[in-house]
Structure 1
Amino acid sequence: MTSIRRLAGGLLLAGNLHAATITVNDTGFAQSDDGVCTFAEAIDAVNNDTASGVLASECTAGGTEDTIEFDLPLPAFIDQPFMLTVSRSVVIEGPGKDLLSISGNGISRILRINNVVLSEFTVRGLTFTAGFAGDNLLGFDPSGGAVFVDATVSPVTFEDVRFENSAAGFAGGGVALVNVSSTLSALRTFRRCHFVGNTALGSSINEVSGNSGGGGGKYIGGSVDVLIEDSTFESNVTLINGVAPSADGDSQGGAIWMVSAASSATSELLVRRSTFSGNSAVGLGGGLAIGMATVTDD
């Protein structure tokens, strides 16, 4: 049986009614038939609709609109030293941002959200920590230290999530939000989220613009609509590698850098009941740096 649901913007999402709950029961990152279900295996189960193995306690096969949950001794720390990509609808349901941390160990971006088909993504109740983006992805300069979102028009929601102590060579030490479509906007929602101690390093220079990036906490690219509610941006930093910033470009937005590449790819940012404290940038905008965008402070 197939269900059809209407998403924001009038888009339709069709899918089989079968859904699976996939339970992570191990804090490692192995992907093998060893009788446990790791976070990496759970993401694979969602993407491929297959179980991670035949032994008991392996990840069950995904379906449509799956949920990943965690059955771990708390507080728990998951070691994730390589990037995971989720491309199908999923709710990642953590036990609480003070109870579960997923770490990139300072060597890897933790999660990429990228849809193959129109999907919905929700992440709740966990902390992303010590992510690092030093590589170019899809032609974008090193961005999104903890999380990189390029899910085109699919809605993505983060609730009660902490992004902490992560870094990117170019933009978005905590998270980078981009959209490969220049005509259809994508909605990204952040509720009760905490961005703390993230850094845009300014160690990568865009070859076209000559800009060294920005957005210690968050980078927002073109054709991305962002709603931020009841959230905190604290002690996020944008740096540059010992070069004086230009008056109009380099190392902007200690907390958030929002930029559109063209007037046809403008973005909208709506911020409600949120706090910005102790953020800094070598260039413009210790808290916020905005270019070619519509901004609403509600």
Structure 2
Amino acid sequence: MKKVNIGGVPEHFNLAWYLTLKDGEYKNQDINLRWHDYYGGTGEMNKALRSGEIDMAVILTEGVVKDIIEGNPSKIVQTFVETPLNWGIHVAADSEFNTINDIKGARAAISRYGSGSHLMAYINAKNNNWNLEKDLNFEVIKNLDGAIKGLTNGDADYFMWEKFTTKPIVDDGIFRRIANLPSPWPCFVIAVRQEFIDNNEDDLKIILDIINETTSDFKSIPSIDKTIANRYEQELEDVQEWLSLTEWSQSIMDKKTLDNVQEQLYDLKIISEKVDYAQLIHEI
């Protein structure tokens, strides 16, 4: 049986992977797919792809594009979530900050450099015409638990993370959300190490076929909203809103979309060069 390691954030976006693993769908095809949770998000997964700790990752578009350009030996094989990620911009509940203008020049908590929380801080700064050199400051907090400690203790001032994941923390009076920021592109892609693609393309196709069959009908799974609410400790109405806003994909990211990602990252000086579509994408 072929062993394959895949990584992702332990969030509701990835429930389809859990369901297909629980049903033994990969083992039925002689594939031992092993899921690994990465609480540190995209930056941590990029490191794991580079080291060979995992073969595949369900990862934020902007983060993996940047890392592939910087030498990560991986390719994007498919868009996983077609819709933007709804980033919440959070401060501590008792913070003096109340608006986007208030956090100009303040310290952004980020999971690590190159992560989504890091890169989207640049998008937020650009949208508000901030000085990218003077008005952005960062404190590395590793993960969501680190952000809770960092903001509560005053080690950082604001934190950007997917708003439905952080909603229970807002409801508990730990964070206060002062704004939302949708990502300007499809949020999650599936990235795979080039070495794995070269040697296991048939297995990769089987894995993608299985997950795509589940995501294409995901919203019609009986009581899926209740399943998500229970598993991820979220309010049912929040889950229903999230489902109404989220669309999964079963296809490759097109050149126009990827060119837009690169253009924006380049303009923000997050990447030093733009590369050909073929250097980022492998079509199965």
TM class, shorter-chain normalised?
A: under 0.3
The structure where helix makes up a greater share of residues is 2
Higher relative contact order (Cα pairs below 8 Å, separated by 6+ residues): 2
TM-score, length of structure 1 as denominator length: 0.25
